[in-house]
Amino acid sequence: MAAPWRLLLLLLLLLTLAPQACALTSEPAPRFRNLRLEPNELRLSWDGDVTSGSRQVHCQKGSNSPVRAPRRRPYCTFASLSLCHVTNFSVFLEEDPGSAAWIQFPESDTDRASAATDLHCWVHDVDVMTCRWGRGPGADEHAQYRMWWRDAALGRDRDRECAHYDVTDAQGAHLGCRVDLATLLPTHHVTVTVTGGGASCSDISVDLQRVEVLTPPVLAAVCNGSEEARLRWEMRSHFYHSFQYELQINKTSESHFRALIPGSASFRVRAKPMAEAQFSDWSHAVRLDCAPAAAERKHVTVMAAALAALGAGLLVLGTLLLCRR
């Protein structure tokens, strides 16, 4: 009679320990659940109570530097998102990289070979942004490309098409565009998208300040009296306001007696933002021929004195030679 009771007790013990054994062997619940991209808000979001506070939550887009989640908010916000290129997004606790969760957005890109290639843009001549791209290697010969731009913080519904396509290939496809910078400002960060050639598109995020090729200063020079020239220059940029300048002066007169007066000389100047290392190109050279009457008299006087001294030296030398004979 004791055996059935022992069997019953053993069964009850197993039922009691089973949940604990399962808890010990099962994997821990993920920290970040239901990870998702909200493209209109430029936001990576998740469910759960894991937020920045006593713990630091970071999000990363591709190989870019991580950004920190706002305090007590279950999301991270990015400056821009690509709607064309598959990109890996991850979220993790700073002190626990093993907590990372990730997704890809967009999820697929099945027609990449037809999309535009090598899309790039730069700002030049102060007021112009130019963009260029290439034909996709898998694009049909009749493929046509169109370029759009928008404030990087806005959605695709705010796209504006290029109004001045300036490069086409042999098949008539657009491969370049010029945009008046006045239509972009005061925005400093734009998203440029090229569609056509297939189902896929190409897009890039453009920081207008970083892609600006500085235009050289505009230099003016005038003679100002007998011993000086007055130089003035103007540097223009929509994104920089403090500059360091280098001035180059090339003297064209060979007479060292005119070193303190302009005479014939050319000038040019270049500039760079105070916090940057790269200078602009040199400005166009400005040439001056300053020959005031007072300066000419000064030059003649100096030359006469020099010739008189030279003549006196020759006279003394001649006298010494005669005495030696």
Level-2 CATH architecture, domain 112-207: Sandwich (2.60)
The predicted structure's pLDDT at residue 111: 78
Residue 302 DSSP SS3: helix
The predicted structure's pLDDT at residue 305: 40
Alpha helices in 62-113 (DSSP H): none
For the stretch 86-119, pLDDT in tens is 999 999 988 887 788 999 998 877 778 889 999 9
The predicted structure's pLDDT at residue 251: 65
The predicted structure's pLDDT at residue 322: 30
The predicted structure's pLDDT at residue 250: 77
Give the fold, CATH level 3, of 218-297.
Immunoglobulin-like (2.60.40)
- 106 preceded by cis ω (within 30°)? yes
Level-2 CATH architecture, domain 30-105: Sandwich (2.60)
The predicted structure's pLDDT at residue 96: 81
The predicted structure's pLDDT at residue 301: 38
Query: Strand 75-77 to strand 218-223: parallel, antiparallel, or no bridges (unpaired)?
Result: unpaired
List per-residue pLDDT tens for the chain, 325 residues long: 456 666 666 666 666 655 555 444 445 556 788 999 998 899 999 987 676 665 789 999 998 899 999 988 899 999 888 999 999 999 998 888 778 899 999 887 777 888 999 999 999 999 999 999 999 998 888 889 999 999 998 888 899 999 999 999 998 999 999 999 999 889 899 999 999 867 789 999 999 999 999 999 999 888 876 667 788 899 999 999 999 998 888 765 443 333 344 567 788 889 999 888 889 999 988 887 776 554 444 443 334 343 344 343 433 333 333 333 3
Q: What are phi and psi for residue 44, nearest 5 degrees?
A: -105, 120
For the stretch 271-315, pLDDT in tens is 999 888 889 999 988 887 776 554 444 443 334 343 344 343 433
Domain ranges of the chain: 30-105, 112-207, 218-297
Tell me which amino acid residue 32 is.
F
Q: Report which DSSP code applies to 21.
A: H
Report how far residue 21's alpha carbon sits from residue 1's, in angstroms, rounded to the nearest whole number. 31
Query: Strand 189-195 to strand 202-207: parallel, antiparallel, or no bridges (unpaired)?
Result: antiparallel
The predicted structure's pLDDT at residue 29: 58
Q: What are phi and psi for residue 247, nearest 5 degrees?
A: -110, 130
